[in-house]
Amino acid sequence: MQRLFRSTAIALALMLAACGGGGGGGVASTPAPPVATIPTPTPTPVPAPSPTPAPTPTPAPGFDTSEYRATVGAVSMNALAAYQKGATGAGINLAIIDSGVDLDSAEFGSRISAASRDVAGNATIDDQDGHGTAVAFTAAGRRNDAGTHGVAFDATLVVLRADTPGSCAAASAGSNDSGCSFDTDAIARGVDAARTAGARVINLSLGGSAMPPALAAAIGRATAAGIIVVIAAGNDGSANVDPFAGVATNDAVARNLVIVAGSIGSGDVISSFSDRAGDAATHYLAAVGEQVRAPDASNTAYLWSGTSFAAPQISGAIALLAQAFPNLSGAQIVDLLYRTARDVGAAGVDSVYGNGVIDLTKAFQPVGTASLAGTKTAVSLAGNATLSAPMGDAATGPLGAVILDRYARAFAIDLATTIQRTAPDPVLLGALQSRVRTVAAARGGMTMAITLAPRVHGEVALERTMLTGEQTDSARAIAGLVTQRIDAKTSIALGVAQASGVLTAQLVGRSDPAFLVATAGTMGFRNQARSAGAIRHDIGGIGITAAIESGDVIARAGDAIGGPAAWRHSPYDQATVGFDTHLGAVATTLAATTLVERDTLLGARFDGGLGAAHATTRFLDASARWGFGTGWSLGATARRGWSAARLRGGVGGHGVLVTEAYAADIGKDGIFGGDSIGLRIAQPLRVARGGIDYLLPTNYDYGSQSVDAYTAQFLNLAPTGREIDVEARYRILMPGGELQTNLFWRRDPGNVAALPDDYGMAIRYGIGF
């Protein structure tokens, strides 16, 4: 047995005029505070970091009261983050091994556990010194809109009085110590009593020499039961913690469940008196231990300083976490507090602040990779989907769900806030940046066309073309197609980086007007064909074409800024069967297409948190072009689609979307000879109605650790905006090339009603290279 004196000495800096936690009462006489000699800090504290920012968003007024604002420890750790989620410590046993509590105080009421008892031979747990009362209040003093309150103001206190009988009244004159002493055997009995009482955390605002085997064994029994032990670091301003707290470094005893509490003051600066983290840095956590307002044994409020008052701040925070997240083990709570602490001083774990300053802001937010409750599907807190142009400004209602973080803690999230929208593509800029040339050759029933672009340094040179050696060195192939006539009625086409529609037009012999913005017959979202093939057979004047195409849907990655990483490529395959014929001067086509997107839905990217939706879409297309008069033509196209969305990753639900697109144009060739003019109005592909019906987890039971409620919720994907494109074009052949002029106007670009109209003019002169 050792006799242990409290080295975490109290510094009674100022007595306050109110009683208890700032409640009512008359003015009490001010006892002379003991003389406190503050040692010179070693090493010198680092410069003060910036003050803790105010919570964002502004806390609800229910807990953000003047009483809370006066509670310096709670404000420093932002305990509002816990209170606003309903965590107050209710139902959690918090053990205080100290000099007892003031039984006449109203600050604890009925929250003193029946398991509380004296473990040192005193007749009662009633505090004679005041230190125990102040420590208990700092951890769990009541909230009554007056003065200050404890961190976990609804926690149940297991009070274990351990001071040696009569020692608290034996203070020596001029001593910084209150006079209380504690036998280590009594402390050991207190630790065992706390364990059997079901305490989640044990607070030891005590200090002295290293723990003897009996006390260390009791600590070991507590940690083996998953109980967290918080020990004051000591008040000598030393480079290492008090020997008593050094048990935290004994892995066989502490099991990483012993936290050493250091003290900070304003601006997160280490207190001059506080022992530094030193060799116990990985087990050290700092909290406010300066000017902490709390009552003494006579219910008189003082401002207390010492690591004795940093420890109960941490103990109270542990009670908040234990109540809010009943699934957490002691080891997980400790890891969470270390992981979410404010990093002050040197970066990372350092020899002054250890793990940093306790901060509940992040501790009450999801930590690590989150998953949708009931699944193993990862969920982003920022972006789970990027909508495509056909969905535009679709107004999405709330999509409430429960997610689990790395500690299997349940959090409510509105997944709708993680859905991003694609900005309209700068279509004109992309068209004007084209620097390509098509080279074609024909022999017998075969034709070949290769699209060339200027050679980029380091790429493979083009070979076996009709170009000269010098031209070959300066060009590279970016696309090509080959057509072959099999017989008088049958022909085939193969393409690289060409859409199947291009191959079909080549086989039919159709030449579409060259509009830059008001396009027709496209998918309506960004894509890039890789390869395609088509075969056409003529039966009695009706052409039957079958075509296939493979490529990539190109969707913006919501978390990327620019460059290649800003885009995700997802494969697609499509197959088309079409019929074409001429009815006099009218050329008509009718086609049915099946589009299979492996990881997207009409170009939109849904990540796992929203079911990693993918789709099969069936389009029906019709077009007609009437050539009349001298070079005049009138054309129209229409597309209607039905998309069936399927979800993966254990996310329940499905979706059906109906889409539409159309275009109409009029034009004339040969106004002045080798020229042409045209006007088109078009609506790009747009979701007319539909969305995804989700079945999302909306309640989580910690008892069974499972989802116990799912709610059907609808994600609307039909936009309010409706893009309409109007474009006029004029093209004329010039010596060595051609000149083309385009004027366009776009209403609701990208199907976003809030965007201003987009309009412009392009003049392009193309020559060979």
Catalytic residue among 7, 76, 98, 263: 98
Q: What pLDDT score does 737 carry? A: 81
Closest C-alpha among 732, 512, 531 to residue 637: 512
- Which has the higher per-residue pLDDT, 18 or 459? 459
Closest C-alpha among 29, 32, 13, 180 to residue 98: 180
Tell the burial category of 118 from Cβ atoms under 10 Å away from its Cβ (0-12, 13-18, 19+). buried
**Dihedral-angle region of residue 284 (phi above 0 means left; psi in -120 to 50 means alpha; beta otherwise):** beta
Radius of gyration of the chain (CA): 38
Q: Tell me, what amino acid is at 729?
A: R
pLDDT (mean) for 709-738: 92
What is the spatial distance between Cα 91 and Cα 628, in angstroms, rounded to a whole number? 86
DSSP 276: P
CB 283 within 8 A of CB 248: yes
Q: What pLDDT score does 766 carry? A: 72
Sorted by sequence, the CB contacts under 8 Å of residue 711 that are 6+ apart come out as: 400, 695, 696, 698
Q: Which residue has the tokens 């050991």?
A: 188
What is the spatial distance between Cα 40 and Cα 17, in angstroms, rounded to a whole number? 32
Residue 560, pLDDT > 90, answer no
Q: What pLDDT score does 581 carry? A: 94
Cα–Cα distances (Å) from 455 to 461, 474, 481, 563, in that order, read: 8, 5, 20, 20
Percent of the chain with pLDDT over 70: 82
Q: What pLDDT score does 178 carry? A: 57
Q: Is 614 a catalytic residue?
A: no
Sorted by sequence, the CB contacts under 8 Å of residue 271 that are 6+ apart come out as: 262, 263, 264, 265, 289, 290, 305, 307
- Which has the higher per-residue pLDDT, 566 or 84? 84
Q: What pLDDT score does 242 carry? A: 97
pLDDT (mean) for 707-712: 95
- Which has the higher per-residue pLDDT, 451 or 683? 683
Q: Which of 228-232, 396-400, 644-648 has the lowest mean pLDDT?
A: 396-400
Cα–Cα distances (Å) from 144 to 295, 381, 391, in that order, read: 14, 36, 52
What is the spatial distance between Cα 660 and Cα 602, in angstroms, rounded to a whole number? 12
Q: Which of 46-55, 186-195, 326-335, 665-674 has the lowest mean pLDDT?
A: 46-55
What is the spatial distance between Cα 157 and Cα 312, in angstroms, rounded to a whole number? 12
Taking the alpha carbons of 181, 20, 94, 161 in that order, is the dihedral positive or negative? positive
| Other Cβ atoms within 10 Å of 514 Cβ, number | 14
pLDDT (mean) for 460-482: 46
Q: Write the pLDDT tens digit of every residue in 576-592.
A: 999 999 988 899 999 99
Sorted by sequence, the CB contacts under 8 Å of residue 275 that are 6+ apart come out as: 233, 234, 235, 236, 237, 238, 239, 240, 241, 242, 245, 262, 307
Residue 14, pLDDT > 80, answer no
∠ Cα 474 477 482 (to 5°)? 140
Residue 132 C-beta-side C-alpha neighbours within 13 Å: 28
Q: Write the pLDDT tens digit of every residue in 505-523.
A: 888 888 778 888 888 778 8
Q: Write the pLDDT tens digit of every residue in 97-124.
A: 999 999 999 999 999 999 999 999 999 9
CB 445 within 8 A of CB 406: no
Q: Which of 397-401, 453-457, 535-539, 626-630 has the lowest mean pLDDT?
A: 453-457
Q: What pLDDT score does 11 carry? A: 40
Q: Write the pLDDT tens digit of every residue in 404-440.
A: 999 999 999 999 999 988 777 666 655 555 555 566 6
Residue 20, pLDDT > 60, answer no
Give Dmax (Cα) for the chain: 119
Catalytic residue among 7, 167, 308, 676: 308
Sorted by sequence, the CB contacts under 8 Å of residue 218 that are 6+ apart come out as: 187, 188, 189, 191, 192
CB 13 within 8 A of CB 292: no
Sorted by sequence, the CB contacts under 8 Å of residue 434 that are 6+ apart come out as: none
Q: Tell me, what amino acid is at 271?
A: S
Q: Is 98 a catalytic residue?
A: yes
Closest C-alpha among 228, 175, 188, 235 to residue 207: 235
What is the spatial distance between Cα 665 and Cα 644, in angstroms, rounded to a whole number? 31
Q: Which of 141-145, 174-178, 405-409, 440-444 has the lowest mean pLDDT?
A: 174-178
List the domains of the chain with CATH numbers.
Answer: 66-166+177-364 (3.40.50.200), 487-693+717-767 (2.40.160)
Q: Which DSSP helix (H) or strand (E) runs through 306?
A: none
Pairing of strands 181-183, 3-5: antiparallel
Mean pLDDT of the chain: 85
pLDDT (mean) for 159-188: 80
∠ Cα 393 398 404 (to 5°)? 120
Q: What pLDDT score does 438 carry? A: 62
Tell the burial category of 47 from Cβ atoms under 10 Å away from its Cβ (0-12, 13-18, 19+). exposed
Residue 51, pLDDT > 50, answer no
Tell the burial category of 630 from Cβ atoms under 10 Å away from its Cβ (0-12, 13-18, 19+). exposed
Residue 35, pLDDT > 60, answer no
Q: What pLDDT score does 137 carry? A: 98
CB 257 within 8 A of CB 229: yes
What is the spatial distance between Cα 482 and Cα 544, in angstroms, rounded to a whole number? 19
Sorted by sequence, the CB contacts under 8 Å of residue 656 that are 6+ apart come out as: 642, 643, 644, 645, 690
- Which has the higher per-residue pLDDT, 683 or 29? 683
CB 477 within 8 A of CB 451: yes
Q: Which of 17-26, 173-182, 307-316, 592-601 has the lowest mean pLDDT?
A: 17-26
∠ Cα 506 508 514 (to 5°)? 55
Sorted by sequence, the CB contacts under 8 Å of residue 15 that are 6+ apart come out as: 28, 30, 31, 33, 300, 301, 302
Tell the burial category of 698 from Cβ atoms under 10 Å away from its Cβ (0-12, 13-18, 19+). middle
Q: What pLDDT score does 566 carry? A: 66
Residue 201, token pair as written in the block: 């955390």
Q: What pLDDT score does 658 carry? A: 98
- Which has the higher per-residue pLDDT, 649 or 680? 680
Q: What pLDDT score does 500 carry? A: 86
**Residue 568: pLDDT band with limits 50, 70, 90:** confident
Catalytic residue among 99, 131, 283, 665: 131
CB 137 within 8 A of CB 305: no
**Dihedral-angle region of residue 418 (phi above 0 means left; psi in -120 to 50 means alpha; beta otherwise):** alpha
Q: Which of the given ranges, 41-50, 145-154, 480-489, has the highest pLDDT on average?
A: 145-154
Q: What pLDDT score does 358 carry? A: 98
Q: Which of 476-480, 486-490, 638-642 has the lowest mean pLDDT?
A: 476-480
Beta-ladder partners of 659: 641, 687
Sorted by sequence, the CB contacts under 8 Å of residue 331 that are 6+ apart come out as: 226, 255, 256, 257
- At 718 the three-state DSSP class reads coil
DSSP 112: B
Q: What pLDDT score does 512 carry? A: 78
Q: What pLDDT score does 12 carry? A: 43
The beta-carbon contacts of 585-589 under 8 Å, at least 24 apart in sequence, are: 585/626, 585/627, 585/628, 586/624, 586/625, 586/626, 587/510, 587/624, 587/625, 587/626, 587/627, 588/622, 588/623, 588/624, 589/508, 589/621, 589/622, 589/623, 589/624
Residue 5, pLDDT > 70, answer no
Residue 317, pLDDT > 80, answer yes
Q: What pLDDT score does 78 carry? A: 97
Q: What pLDDT score does 426 carry? A: 66
What is the spatial distance between Cα 10 and Cα 294, in angstroms, rounded to a whole number? 12
pLDDT (mean) for 244-256: 98
Closest C-alpha among 609, 589, 242 to residue 402: 609
What is the spatial distance between Cα 528 and Cα 572, in angstroms, rounded to a whole number? 10
